[in-house]
């Protein structure tokens, strides 16, 4: 009944591999700017509202993978067919017509069923940082899929796994019937994101590059999840933490420091990383900022010659012996002031590399290590 | 090329040893930190190092950062070149090196397993695992390739390629399922690197090398006869299967130790022996020790480049050897095309 040949044309050309921008376009939150955040006519509009508008193409394309494969007709093996439809270049027209028509009908059923507001969106997160943000927004219950690396908070570990950051399975994502997919431009495989966009999922991608952009990301995520007020509260709280730190360390000079990811080869945090941003904001001076590479293999002799007063040794994963290992390595170089004064701190890598709310926690922690006098504590 | 006489052998080896010493000195005085240290101070710092007394800052940079690194480069480059020269002689194929025949693949796989099972990243378990993997793969290759009590070159190469592919697949599997904590170190290790190890580690490497190097140098005459063709060698009194077996085990040992301390550094074992052969002739009594010395010089210089090109950051040394080695390999391939297609 909503069918029109023109719409079908669009679908057809789309299938032939010509990129047809049916709606808004890719959603990217790049830095502070939120470009065309959605494929939808209204950025954070509710799917159900859109579906009630006759002639809105978004309606059936959006529900295509869901309507066919989902609850409506569990035995109909059309989920695979749906993918086939989107990707295959030599498609039999009749089959397509049939499937598209079926999808349309199903969609109409679904749209009637979903009359009201979608209060329980099914969210899939494709990055550990986004998982953390979703939990922080109090939306953890809505998460229906996470990556293998999502280990914080501990509830995230019991969520269905979709694969590693770069090895997420498209089928696994589709099988979760997501309403909202959150991903990252750098972290996720571009082909996966493209496929999800082609399948007209509501995919939002984020790529914060500084501490301030993390705050923007949190706001944007809260907006797409319909929890804007909670997001604003959270951002306000994190901002106040940041201000507290910057006030506390304002009086004292920057402490020369390095943040070390690997010993052999020696990998440091260079400029353009969150770790660098954290060091500088916590009242330190990153000695590796001359490297011009985000994670440089750094010259050991130069590190020794630059005499860092604090060494932040980052341990990958949950490693019980991390401190012992770090000390075993650094005690080889007792002339480094940080080693002489035992100012070698071990930090979980997740705390300094994940662009999530916990960065602000490590900001406070680092400030305490750099300037124990300002915080009335320290080692 | 004049025939190899004793004075010629010793004069060439002496010359190369001198060059090696100059190279090590050169790498000692190039770096990101300017060091103002005369030879007299250097000597006193050196004696402090021997007595394990505290060094000055410049002393630390010269003798504990740069020197061990240069020595490790010499050991690794020399070992890979020596085993490369031996493999080329054994298989009588100019494209052979430790990376063909599955030796490095097996060593790499086992070394990564060693990294995972040993909770600490100390040196000890990794070379043992790597040697085990190298030996296992070489015996697998030999078992597959052996036909009617002989080791035909073609089946040997094919078996090597297959075994290497198999172990590469296992390495990729491990890199995919490995937990986050091990992944970066395993990947960096695969890229190949030379770092400042402690002197005890260097001593351990030299110790592991010793039997392999002695066996290979002792087999130089057999290699000369084998290069005439296996039948001729057998008629001339070489116990060919025994020599081959010994040589394979010895070369695998050296490759495994080199791989375990520095990861996968390609092309050294291929290029250096060929250059030596072109310059000094094919006699293995000279070729083998000269390969060791020149391999050391080559890798030490490559490492100097690796740490100075984008200073203060560093490149993996495998990048330099591969960038230099790739074009060389193509040249070699074009040159020996007829030989291979035969």
DSSP B146: -
Q: Which residue has the tokens 């706001």?
A: A219
Inter-chain touch A288–B32, beta carbons under 8 Å: no
Work out the angle at residue A201's Cα, subtended by the Cα atoms of residues A199 and A207, and round it to the nearest 5 degrees: 115
Inter-chain touch B181–A300, beta carbons under 8 Å: no
Per residue, the 3-state secondary structure of A51-87, as one string, reads HHCCCCHHHHHHHHHHHHHCCCCCCCCHHHHHHHHHH
Does ipTM exceed 0.85?
Answer: no
Q: pLDDT exceeding 70 applies to what percent of chain B? A: 93
For residue A278, the model assigns a pLDDT of 93
Can you give the pTM of this predicted structure?
0.76
What are the tokens at B281? 């002739």
- When CB atoms are compared, the residue of B57, B307, B310 closest to A305 is B57
**Greatest Cα pair distance in chain B:** 65
pLDDT string in tens for chain A (379-residue length): 343 444 433 333 333 333 333 333 344 444 433 333 333 333 333 333 333 333 333 333 333 333 333 333 333 344 444 444 444 444 444 454 455 444 444 443 333 333 334 568 899 999 999 999 999 999 899 999 999 888 888 899 999 999 888 888 899 999 999 999 999 988 888 999 999 999 999 999 998 888 899 999 999 999 998 889 999 999 999 999 999 999 988 888 899 999 999 888 899 999 988 999 999 999 999 999 998 888 899 999 999 999 999 999 988 766 677 888 888 889 989 889 999 999 999 998 888 889 999 999 999 999 999 998 887 654 3
* Alpha-carbon torsion (A187, A189, A191, A195), positive or negative: negative
User: Which residues of A fall below an 8 Å CB-CB distance to B?
Assistant: 149, 164, 167, 261-267, 270, 288, 290-293, 296-302, 304-305, 315-319, 321, 325, 328, 332-335
Residues in chain A with CB shorter than 8 Å from the CB of B181 are: 315-319
C-alpha span between B230 and B223 (Å, rounded) = 10
Q: Are residues B336 and B92 in contact, defined by beta-carbon separation less than 8 angstroms?
A: no
Q: Are residues B276 and B88 in contact, defined by beta-carbon separation less than 8 angstroms?
A: no
To the nearest whole Å, the CA of B282 is away from the closest chain A CA by 38
State residue B151 phi and psi, 5-degree precision.
Answer: -120, 80
Residues in chain A with CB shorter than 8 Å from the CB of B261 are: none
* Alpha-carbon torsion (A232, A236, A237, A241), positive or negative: positive
Residues in chain B with CB shorter than 8 Å from the CB of A149 are: 180
pLDDT string in tens for chain B (342-residue length): 567 788 889 999 999 999 999 999 999 888 888 887 777 888 888 888 888 888 888 888 888 899 999 999 999 999 999 999 998 888 777 767 777 777 888 888 888 888 777 755 455 677 788 888 888 888 888 888 887 777 777 787 788 888 888 998 998 888 877 766 667 777 887 888 888 888 888 998 999 899 999 999 999 999 998 888 777 888 887 788 888 889 988 998 898 889 888 888 888 888 899 888 888 888 999 999 999 999 999 999 999 999 999 888 899 998 899 898 888 777 877 776 655 444
What are the tokens at B92? 């009588």
Residues in chain A with CB shorter than 8 Å from the CB of B193 are: 264-265, 297
Say if strands A203-206 and A143-145 run parallel, antiparallel, or are unpaired: unpaired
pLDDT in tens, B48-61: 888 888 888 888 88
State residue B163 phi and psi, 5-degree precision.
Answer: -65, -40
Residues in chain A with CB shorter than 8 Å from the CB of B188 are: 262, 264-265, 267
CA A350 to chain centre: 13
User: Which residues of B fall below an 8 Å CB-CB distance to A?
Assistant: 31-33, 54, 57, 60-61, 64-66, 119-121, 176, 179-185, 188, 193, 195-196, 198, 307, 310-316
pLDDT in tens, B296-324: 999 999 999 999 998 888 999 988 998 98
For residue B2, the model assigns a pLDDT of 65
C-alpha span between B57 and A85 (Å, rounded) = 68
Most A-contacting residue of B184, B312, B315, B316 (CB-CB within 10 A), to test interface: B312
Nearest CA in chain A to B180: A317
For residue A119, the model assigns a pLDDT of 66
Inter-chain touch B312–A305, beta carbons under 8 Å: no
To the nearest whole Å, the CA of A189 is away from the closest chain B CA by 15
User: Is the backbone peptide bond immediately before A153 cis, with ω within 30 degrees of 0?
Assistant: yes
What are the tokens at B239? 């116990």
Residues in chain A with CB shorter than 8 Å from the CB of B119 are: 321
To the nearest whole Å, the CA of A344 is away from the closest chain B CA by 19
Cβ partners under 8 Å of residue B11, min gap 6:
none
For residue B14, the model assigns a pLDDT of 95
Residues in chain A with CB shorter than 8 Å from the CB of B312 are: 288, 290-291, 296, 298-299, 302
The secondary element (H helix, E strand) that includes residue B201 is helix B199-218
Cβ partners under 8 Å of residue B45, min gap 6:
B37, B55, B56, B58, B59, B62, B63
Polymer length of chain A: 379
C-alpha span between B24 and B69 (Å, rounded) = 10
Polymer length of chain B: 342
For residue B154, the model assigns a pLDDT of 78
Most B-contacting residue of A187, A305, A308 (CB-CB within 10 A), to test interface: A305
Cβ partners under 8 Å of residue A136, min gap 6:
A218, A234, A356, A357
C-alpha span between B142 and B149 (Å, rounded) = 11
Cβ partners under 8 Å of residue B330, min gap 6:
none
| R_g of chain B computed on alpha carbons | 20
Q: Are residues B24 and B74 in contact, defined by beta-carbon separation less than 8 angstroms?
A: yes
Distances (CA, A) of B63 to A231, B69, B71: 55, 9, 11
């Amino acid at each position: 009944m909503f069918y029109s040949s023109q719409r079908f044309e669009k679908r057809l050309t789309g299938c032939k591999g010509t990129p047809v921008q049916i709606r808004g376009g890719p959603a990217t939150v790049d830095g502070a700017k939120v470009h065309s955040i959605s494929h939808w006519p209204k950025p954070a509009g509710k799917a159900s509202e859109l579906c009630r508008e006759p002639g809105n193409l978004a309606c059936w394309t959006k529900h295509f993978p869901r309507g066919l494969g989902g609850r409506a007709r569990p035995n109909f093996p059309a989920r695979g067919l749906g993918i086939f439809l989107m990707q295959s270049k030599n498609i039999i027209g009749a089959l397509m017509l049939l499937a598209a028509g079926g999808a349309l009908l199903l969609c109409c059923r679904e749209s009637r069923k979903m009359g009201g507001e979608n209060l329980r969106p099914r969210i899939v997160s494709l990055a550990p940082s986004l998982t953390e943000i979703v939990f922080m927004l109090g939306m953890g219950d809505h998460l229906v899929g996470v990556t293998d690396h999502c280990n914080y908070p501990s509830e995230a570990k019991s969520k269905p796994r979709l694969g590693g950051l770069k090895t997420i399975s498209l089928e696994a994502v589709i099988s979760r019937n997501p309403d909202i997919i959150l991903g990252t431009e750098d972290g996720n495989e571009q082909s996966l994101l493209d496929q999800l966009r082609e399948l007209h999922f509501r995919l939002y991608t984020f790529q914060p590059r500084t501490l301030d952009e993390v705050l923007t990301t949190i706001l944007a995520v809260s907006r797409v999840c319909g929890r804007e007020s909670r997001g604003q509260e959270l951002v306000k709280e994190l901002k106040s933490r940041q201000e507290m730190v910057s006030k506390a360390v304002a009086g004292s000079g920057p402490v020369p420091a390095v943040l070390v990811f690997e010993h052999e080869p020696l990998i440091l945090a260079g400029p353009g990383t969150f770790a660098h941003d954290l060091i500088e904001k916590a009242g330190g001076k990153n000695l590796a900022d001359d490297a011009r590479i985000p994670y440089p293999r750094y010259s050991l002799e130069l590190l020794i010659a630059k005499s860092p007063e604090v060494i932040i040794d980052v341990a990958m994963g949950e490693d019980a012996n991390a401190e012992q290992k770090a000390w075993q390595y650094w005690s080889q170089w007792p002339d480094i002031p940080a080693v002489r004064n035992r100012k070698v701190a071990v930090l979980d890598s997740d705390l300094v590399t994940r662009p999530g709310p916990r960065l602000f926690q490590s900001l406070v922690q680092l400030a305490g290590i750099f300037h124990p006098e300002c915080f009335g504590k320290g080692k | 090329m004049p025939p190899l006489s004793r004075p010629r052998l010793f004069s060439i080896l002496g010359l190369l040893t001198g060059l090696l010493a100059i190279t090590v000195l050169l790498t000692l005085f190039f770096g990101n930190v300017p060091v103002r240290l005369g030879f007299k101070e250097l000597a006193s710092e050196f004696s402090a190092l021997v007595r394990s007394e505290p060094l000055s800052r410049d002393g630390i940079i010269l003798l504990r950062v740069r020197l061990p690194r240069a020595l490790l480069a010499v050991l690794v480059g020399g070992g890979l070149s020596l085993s490369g020269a031996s493999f080329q002689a054994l298989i009588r194929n100019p494209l052979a090196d430790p990376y063909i025949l599955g030796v490095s693949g097996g060593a790499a796989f086992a070394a990564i397993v060693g990294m995972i099972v040993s909770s600490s990243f100390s040196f000890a378990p990794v070379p043992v695992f790597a040697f085990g993997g190298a030996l296992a793969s070489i015996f697998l290759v030999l078992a597959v390739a052996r036909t009617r009590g002989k080791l035909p070159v073609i089946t040997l190469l094919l078996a090597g390629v297959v075994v290497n592919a198999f172990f590469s697949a296992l390495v990729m599997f491990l890199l995919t399922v490995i937990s986050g904590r091990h992944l970066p170190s395993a990947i960096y290790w695969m890229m190949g690197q030379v770092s400042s190890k402690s002197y005890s580690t260097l001593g351990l490497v030299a110790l592991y090398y010793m039997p392999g190097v002695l066996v290979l140098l002792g087999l130089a005459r057999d290699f000369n006869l084998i290069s005439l063709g296996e039948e001729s060698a057998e008629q001339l009194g070489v116990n060919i299967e025994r020599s081959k077996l010994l040589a394979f085990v010895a070369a695998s040992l050296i490759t495994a130790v080199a791989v375990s301390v520095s990861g996968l550094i390609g092309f050294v074992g291929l290029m250096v022996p060929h250059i030596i052969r072109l310059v000094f002739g094919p006699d293995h009594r000279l070729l083998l020790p000269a390969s060791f010395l020149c391999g050391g010089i080559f890798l030490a210089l490559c490492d100097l480049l690796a740490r100075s090109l984008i200073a203060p950051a560093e490149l993996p040394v495998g990048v330099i050897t591969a960038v230099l080695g790739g074009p060389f390999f193509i040249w070699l391939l074009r040159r020996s095309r007829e030989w291979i297609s035969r």
